[in-house]
Amino acid sequence: MKTLMIDWQRLVDAGRTCPRCGDTQHEVREAAASLRSALAPLGVQVELREGELSTAEFAAAPLESNRILLQGRTVEDWLGGETGQSACCDVCGPDDCRTVTVDGTTHETIPAELIVRAGLLAAAALLAEEPADPAPCCAPAQAGTTIPIAEVRRVSGRRPPEGAAGDRCC
């Protein structure tokens, strides 16, 4: 089973976060639940990791707050959007917070719909990846067992190995 990783982080100061990050937390959790339902039949599990930035980390890199990564790429990257910034609230202090612009609309709270769209693109890329070390076409067979070539093609989508005799593999 493959895993679609969603990483979201935001500023947390004395247990508080800004309103846009609080709202995005609801949206990212909703999106993760939708993606789990949609991708489970395809053999993809969804893992959501929520991280916290300290005030010192936020001060050093304010645009890292409210950042959502899917398979290591931002929502806006998956969707051809842009990262921006705007003034936020007292929790964030004088620093601007992250915004995301997609399809000409700027979002302070990142909506579940955008996260799901990006998640589906990330899942498609994940499913298209070949295994790093693919097993032979008939790896599930016990040693000495033969598998019909047509079955090898049907189940694995691969050609039988060189040297497969006649209509049998392995």
DSSP letter for each residue of 67-129 = EEEETTEEHHHHTT-EEEEE---TTTTTSPEEEEEETTEEESS--HHHHHHHHHHHHHHHHHP
Confidence of residue 11 (pLDDT cuts 50, 70, 90): confident
Confidence of residue 148 (pLDDT cuts 50, 70, 90): low
Mean pLDDT of 144-161: 53
CB 118 within 8 A of CB 130: no
Mean pLDDT of the chain: 83
pLDDT above 90 covers what percent of the chain? 52
Q: Rounded to whole angstroms, how far apart are CA atoms 94 and 88?
A: 8
Q: What is the pLDDT of residue 170?
A: 47
* Residue 54 dihedral angles phi and psi, to the nearest 5°: -75, 170
Q: What is the pLDDT of residue 49?
A: 97
Q: What is the pLDDT of residue 81?
A: 96
Q: Which two tokens stand for residue 134?
A: 């693919």
Residue type, 157: G
Q: What is the pLDDT of residue 23?
A: 92
Q: Rounded to whole angstroms, how far apart are CA atoms 86 and 71?
A: 26
Who's near 55: CB < 8 A, 6+ residues apart?
11, 13, 93
Q: Rounded to whole angstroms, how far apart are CA atoms 135 and 152?
A: 12
Look at residue 78 and tell me whether its pLDDT is greater than 50: yes
Q: What is the pLDDT of residue 149?
A: 53
Look at residue 134 and tell me whether its pLDDT is greater than 70: no
Radius of gyration of the chain (CA): 22
Mean pLDDT of 133-140: 51
Q: Rounded to whole angstroms, how far apart are CA atoms 27 and 162?
A: 51
Higher pLDDT, 17 or 123: 123
Q: Residue 108: left (phi > 0), alpha (psi -120 to 50), or beta?
A: alpha
Mean pLDDT of 91-111: 88
Look at residue 5 and tell me whether its pLDDT is greater than 60: yes
Confidence of residue 68 (pLDDT cuts 50, 70, 90): very high
